A = this chain, B = another copy of it.
Amino acid sequence: MIIDVSKACDLLKKGDDILILSHQKPDGDTLGSGFSLKYALEKLGKRTRIECSDGFPSRYGFMYQDGFDPDKQEQFTPGMIVAVDIADTQLLGKKTEKYKDRVDLCIDHHPSNTHYAKNLVLDSQAAATVQLISKVIDGLGVKIDLLMATCIYTGLATDTGCFRYSNVTAETMYLAARMMEYGVDAYGINKLMFETKSVARMEVEKLIMETLEYYYDKRCAVIVISDEMVKTTGVSEEELEGVSAIPRQIEGVEVAVTLRQKGARTYRVSMRTSEYVDASRICVRLGGGGHARAAGCTVEGTLVQVKKKIIEQLKDAF
């Protein structure tokens, strides 16, 4: 059932022994939402616990209370289960999927939310779930403190590429401004979130840059990430995030293609287009799908064959 923020606050006020769930492969928004809500509920005297199938990365350590140890949290049989920023129970992951039919309240901003929870607060216009959490905290009558503000700011910044994506609204900026008034170290957070690359990431970027090729009068740019590159640099999946921006950001490039090797003769193709080429139409022809500006498919063959197939399919697009 879709409910509004005020109804969600009523439920939370009544509840206790509240288990908060963040999605697997946790990001700044699901953690920022989970922890700020946890801190707010604790101010109301509630017992809480937060769980995430993939644990709590040290990278986001500045959002955790001093001495936070996920394994030493209070143990209780949940009286209420709250999922934050989780569009689908498939995103719970192995450790917490056992709760999938028992979620009492979901707070989310994904338009694709599957309405799996008994009660759902959904605003797909919100740039981040923390935008809704901040309303819940206000609705609970809890005064926001520096740590909560840090969590909320982090969710906003990470889900918007530091206030850069098309999901940013005046409301997003007003909320970030308000959080900064609590003394949030925005500079430090953004440096850590956006301007820090691991040595392995730098090494793999160097190798990727060497594969950069242009087609169709430089309106199409292609990069390759081979199994070999991943192996020799030891780069993790998490560290590879966002490399598809490399071809996409080149001036004049309409079609940016990232070929990610997945075994000897298999490439996962990610295609992003800037303005007029329908990426979905091309990827569908190759057995994939997606949206007009972002689509994908999987193509079998040697690297040369895969490139040839894609470039041929683009012929009529230019």
Contact = CB atoms under 8 A, between A and B. Distances in A.
Interface of A: 162-166, 168-174, 176-178, 180-181, 186-187, 190-191, 194-199, 202, 205-206, 209-210, 212, 214, 218, 245, 248-252
B168 A173 contact: no
Contact of A245 (B163, B174, B195, B250): B195
21 contacts: A162-B164, A163-B163, A163-B186, A166-B187, A168-B186, A169-B180, A171-B177, A173-B177, A174-B174, A176-B177, A195-B245, A196-B249, A196-B251, A197-B251, A198-B250, A199-B218, A199-B250, A199-B252, A202-B250, A205-B209, A206-B212
Nearest to A252: B199
A5 to B, nearest CB: 20
Contacts of A173: 173-174, 176-177, 180
B251 A198 contact: yes
A180 B170 contact: yes
A59 to B, nearest CB: 10
B162 A163 contact: yes
A218 B202 CA distance: 12
Nearest to A187: B166
A225 to B, nearest CB: 15
A210 B206 CA distance: 7
A61 to B, nearest CB: 14
A177 B170 contact: yes
Nearest to A172: B177
A195 B249 CA distance: 5
Most buried by B among A165, A176, A214: A176
A101 B44 CA distance: 64
B187 A181 contact: no
A198 B181 CA distance: 38
A238 to B, nearest CB: 13
A251 B164 contact: no
Contacts of A177: 170-174, 176-177
A194 B194 CA distance: 13
A178 B170 contact: yes
A163 B245 CA distance: 20
Contacts of A166: 187
A274 to B, nearest CB: 9
A212 B181 CA distance: 40
Given A164-B191, A170-B181, 17 more contacts: A162-B164, A164-B194, A165-B187, A169-B180, A170-B177, A170-B178, A170-B180, A171-B177, A173-B176, A173-B180, A174-B177, A177-B177, A196-B249, A196-B251, A199-B218, A199-B250, A206-B210
Contacts of A181: 170
Most buried by B among A197, A202, A252: A202
A239 to B, nearest CB: 10
Given A176-B173, A206-B210, A195 B251 contact: no
In order of increasing CB-CB distance, the 3 nearest A-B pairs are A173-B177, A170-B180, A166-B187
